Amino acid sequence: MVLNSYNLKASQMATKFIKRLDSWAIQFRQKLWTKSDVATSKIINPRVNYIHRVILIITFCTILIFSILLVVEYIRGDYPIYGSAKIGAVCKDGWVSYSTGSGTCSHHGGVARWIYPQIGFHYCNPLPYGLTILTTFEILLLISLFSFPFRQRFIACLAEVGYHITYLICSCFLFIVVLIVTLLPPSILFFLYKYWFTN
């Protein structure tokens, strides 16, 4: 009985939160549409609107990819650079031979892997490339934003994108809250039910 009542309360709270989330996102979109003065205009160039959407999407994707690259390269760190000339071999039985001829490791089961000289370290830093790409798209964004004929349409496009981003962020927040509540021990859930939902 307690569990059924708890589920009903949780369902009602989730429904109320989703309705409020829709209201927040719609209000955000309407504010930007009002500022852009496009809501009252019937003339919208689909080609320009499409270009702005593509620029926005590419910029967001570039930021995401650039961030992932930074994390990956931070984890990898420095890695060695090897020369192309062989200086030895590791045999299949673990023996290390410094011969590079055709009979290398012939008495030790054959060559497991060749040994190459280490000539230094290389750190793959994506920062210059990422900043170059990012700056290029930021310039395109600024040109689109401040060019007078396209400015209103760009803000209208930004309003549409902002609506979806707002909804996505709030949905992620709701998912995290639900996940935390799901992972809580039953005793804490009962405590919340008793002192929160029943009051």
Per-residue pLDDT tens over the stretch 8-53: 565 566 566 656 666 666 666 666 555 555 444 444 444 445 555 6
pLDDT at 2 over 50: no
Distance in angstroms (rounded) separating the CA atoms of residues 178 and 192 = 14
Distance in angstroms (rounded) separating the CA atoms of residues 118 and 60 = 39
Higher local confidence (pLDDT), 4 or 22? 22
- Both tokens of 172, joined, read 């992620």
SS3 at position 89:
strand
> Is residue 1 very low, low, confident or very high in pLDDT (cuts 50, 70, 90)?
very low
The confidence score (pLDDT) of residue 149 equals: 52
36: which residues sit within 8 A by CB, 6+ positions away? 152, 153, 155, 156, 159
Distance in angstroms (rounded) separating the CA atoms of residues 14 and 109 = 66
The confidence score (pLDDT) of residue 108 equals: 80
Element (H, E) at 80: strand 79-82
Distance in angstroms (rounded) separating the CA atoms of residues 62 and 132 = 11
pLDDT at 199 over 60: no
The confidence score (pLDDT) of residue 140 equals: 62
Q: pLDDT tens across 97-156, in order?
A: 877 777 788 778 888 888 877 666 555 555 555 556 656 665 665 555 555 455 555 556
Residue type at 183 in one-letter notation: L
pLDDT at 91 over 80: yes
User: Could you give the C-alpha distances from 77 to 17, 102, 121, in angstroms and in order?
Assistant: 43, 36, 10
The confidence score (pLDDT) of residue 102 equals: 78
Do the Cβ atoms of 52 and 144 come closer than 8 Å? yes
Q: pLDDT tens across 48-80, in order?
A: 455 556 656 666 666 666 666 666 665 665 566
pLDDT at 158 over 80: no
- Judged on CB neighbours under 10 Å (0-12, 13-18, 19+), 108 is middle
Closest to 84 (Cα-Cα) out of 118, 48, 54: 118
Element (H, E) at 88: strand 88-91
Query: Is the pTM higher than 0.75?
Result: no
